[in-house]
Amino acid sequence: MGGKERPAATPAEALAAMDRLIATSLVAQHAVAQRLGLNITDLTCMGHILGAGPDPMTAGELAVRADVTTGAITGVVNRLESAGYVVRRADPADRRRVRVVARESAAERIRAVYEPFYARLGEVFTDYSPDEVAVLAEWLSRTGSLMSGYLAELREREATCPPVAPASPAP
């Protein structure tokens, strides 16, 4: 591939590294949310709203993406609107539906928190060849799709049978 030499790694070692990354990411997301005066669900929803780009999502679409009820999404949008992050706009095709649009000032506040980290990630990518970056991008995309599919399976199972109960402590 033309990149620099890499230490050998097994799939199990890669999965362990991914687990550590996910755990650290969850902690970091909570810290970012707190810094922005949001809770983690609100920050997650802001990520979806910003990711929608020029075609804003409806509140219902946002509820599906965030895996919350339509009632809960109303509370999320209320909090984001009160905090100055979003505005509600009537859907031009169906005035009964509401689209959730990020305020530019909110996008700037969020970018200000994430940009230093993304700059550091950009520096990490400079250690990889274009072919290696392509493999990483493909792996992340495929894994994201796999994760979405598995989440859908979990939701279907939850609808038909209760979640697994936690183990009872030993007497």
What integer pLDDT is reported at residue 101 of this predicted model? 95
pTM (whole model) above 0.75: yes
Task: Enter the DSSP assignment of 7.
Answer: -
Q: Which pLDDT tens digits describe the chain residue by residue (171 residues)?
A: 456 888 999 999 999 999 999 999 999 999 999 999 999 999 999 999 999 988 899 999 999 999 899 999 999 999 999 999 999 998 888 888 889 999 999 999 999 999 999 999 999 999 999 999 999 999 999 999 999 899 889 888 887 877 666 776 766
What integer pLDDT is reported at residue 92 of this predicted model? 86
Residues sharing a CB contact under 8 Å with residue 45, sequence separation 6 or more, in sequence order: 62, 65, 66, 73, 76, 77, 80
What integer pLDDT is reported at residue 1 of this predicted model? 44
Please report the DSSP string for 54-71 in residue order: TSPPBHHHHHHHHT--HH
Nearest to 143, CA basis, from 33, 44, 17, 6: 17
Please report the DSSP string for 108-155 in residue order: HHHHHHHHHHHHHHHHHHTTS-HHHHHHHHHHHHHHHHHHHHHHHHHH
CA dihedral 57, 62, 65, 70 (to 10 degrees): -150
Tell me how far CA of residue 12 lies from CA of 58, 125, 145, in angstroms.
40, 23, 20
What integer pLDDT is reported at residue 36 of this predicted model? 95
What integer pLDDT is reported at residue 32 of this predicted model? 96
- Distance between CA 44 and CA 129 in Å, rounded? 31
